[in-house]
Amino acid sequence: MTFENTDEINDLLQQGKSISLYLGHYGNWEWISSIPLHLKGNVVAGQIYRKLSSPLSDKLFLRNRNRMGAVSVEMDHTLRWVKEHVDNKVTTITGYIADQSPRRGETKHFANFLNHYTPVQIGAEKITKRYKMEAFYLDVVREKRGYYKATFVKMADDISSLPEMKLTEIYYNYLEKNIRRQPEFYLWTHRRFKRAQKL
């Protein structure tokens, strides 16, 4: 996997600006954990994940995900992890696979996604705004078998000026364009629309 626009990312990180990185279950997303190999300076790369029910499987997945320098952060510990780094003035880039469904009973917002009125998670937006982080989307393209290109795309120049839930809407717009361009590389089997309503 190659990464495009890393200069902009590294410039912001070197200025001490932490980044929220939005991505989806698209392409070979597990390879994205190699991002730390492309970062400059003392930056901590975190990747938010949902703990697996099998301790053995969870251990194996973590070993694979952390081997290139990224730190795996259990979803329920995200806010605490980000706050600790902010309080300690440590610059971070935190990856959110943000297209997962919220837990039943925890839905706060719906987005228009692939012609469905879809319940979405909003935690990444709330954390990004609370801590005045930059927001980027990782646009992934499969160039040929085993080769992916991922481009960092800035989602907004001034996050604080966006209306509530606008950042989440922007994310889903980017992800939908990604999917429509090469739909065969989206993880359709993860039941993204199990509680969605068709428009």
Give Cα 37 to chain centroid, integer Å.
18
Give the model's pLDDT for residue 59.
Answer: 80
Please give the mean pLDDT across all residues of the chain. 89
pLDDT band at 191 (very low <50, low <70, confident <90, very high): low
pLDDT at position 30: 76
φ, ψ of residue 94 in degrees (nearest 5): -120, 120
With a pLDDT cut of 90, the percent of the chain lying above it is 59
What pLDDT does residue 40 have? 92
Residue 31 has what pLDDT? 79
Residue range 48-61, pLDDT digits in tens = 988 777 888 778 77
Calculate mean pLDDT across residues 174-195. 85
pLDDT of residue 184 exceeding 70: yes
Domain membership of residue 95 as a residue range: 2-198
| pLDDT at residue number 169 | 96
Does the pLDDT value for residue 131 go beyond 90? yes
**Cα separation, 83 vs 130, whole angstroms:** 10
Question: Which tokens in the block code for residue 44?
Answer: 């901590």
What is the three-state SS of 23-77? Answer: ECCECCHHHHHHHHHHCCCCCEEEEEECCCCCHHHHHHHHHHHHCCCCEEEEHHH
Q: At residue 37, does pLDDT exceed 70?
A: yes
Per the structure, how many domains does the chain have? 1
- pLDDT over 70 percentage in the chain: 96
- Report, as an integer, the average pLDDT of 62-73: 80
Taking only the tens place, the pLDDT of each residue in 136-182 is 999 999 999 889 999 999 999 999 999 999 999 999 999 999 999 99
pTM: 0.90
Tens digits of per-residue pLDDT, 78-95?
999 999 999 999 999 999
Instruction: Select from 173, 158, 146 the least CA-distant residue to 22.
Output: 173
Confidence of residue 122 (pLDDT cuts 50, 70, 90): very high
CA distance 136 to 129: 13
